[in-house]
A and B are shown apart, each in its own frame.
Chain A
Amino acid sequence: GAGVSQTPSNKVTEKGKYVELRCDPISGHTALYWYRQSLGQGPEFLIYFQGTGAADDSGLPNDRFFAVRPEGSVSTLKIQRTERGDSAVYLCASSLVTGVSGANVLTFGAGSRLTVL
């Protein structure tokens, strides 16, 4: 697609429920990132995919969070047993891989705003 697409744009759920957030990256971008942004703060890294595999999941806060990218394109971030502290904007980004780690320029989606009541 022309840009990074994230759905839903807004999700309100109750504490303890399961949530899935979807990211459709730019076609041809093999690198995909999930970040989380709380109000008034910079994005916080969650996970990085190179192709189908998670190359770095060191930012996932706990085992309630899980992400997949089965065909190397669309990715789904899954949150189990949601807590009020999970409320944030979840950002997805994709990039071409330059071959130099750290140099990738990210293209972000508009984010999925999650509110846990």
Chain B
Amino acid sequence: AQKVTQAQTEISVVEKEDVTLDCVYETRDTTYYLFWYKQPPSGELVFLIRRNSFDEQNEISGRYSWNFQKSTSSFNFTITASQVVDSAVYFCALSVVGNSNYQLIWGAGTKLIIKP
């Protein structure tokens, strides 16, 4: 069975602080994809990144960076110099390749509050 755990229910930081959102996943499959989505107060989930299981290279996109470590089954997300506009709920999700189904397995989300 597959599972995604986001242990941090809510994080609150002051603007300009760095913040890391944790994601731990479980799967017995060797080929899979990991995703991060952002859900701002408007409610629309927005895609941030996709990573396949064979690519452990970390990725940086502006103030966002992702650390994928298969040894610990983690795919953590760091926001550097946070801004108020980063306030949202962030979801980590897992998809297994080759299954007959096409569903994403989602974590419960981490609510990030950036205070001015």
Measured as residues with beta carbon below 8 angstroms from the partner, the interface class of chain B is 20 to 34
In the complex, A19 has a CB within 8 A of chain B:
no
Question: Is chain A's interface secondary structure helix, strand, loop, or mixed overall?
Answer: loop
Contact A42 B50 (CB under 8 A): no
Residues of A near B107 (CB, < 8 A) are 42
Can you show 27 pairs from A to B with CB atoms below 8 A apart? A31-B102, A33-B103, A40-B108, A41-B108, A42-B106, A42-B107, A43-B91, A44-B106, A45-B104, A48-B101, A48-B102, A56-B100, A56-B101, A58-B103, A89-B43, A91-B45, A93-B45, A101-B102, A103-B33, A103-B97, A105-B50, A108-B37, A109-B44, A110-B42, A110-B43, A110-B44, A111-B43
Beta-carbon contacts under 8 Å, A29-67 to B: 31, 33, 40-45, 48, 55-56, 58-59
Contact A101 B97 (CB under 8 A): yes
Instruction: Number of A interface residues at 8 Å Cβ cutoff, please give it.
Output: 28
Residues of A near B50 (CB, < 8 A) are 103, 105
A100: nearest chain-B partner, CB-CB: B97
In the complex, A116 has a CB within 8 A of chain B:
no
Closest 3 CB pairs of A and B: A42-B106, A45-B103, A102-B95
In the complex, B69 has a CB within 8 A of chain A:
no
Contact of A33 among B33, B42, B93, B102 (CB under 8 A): B102
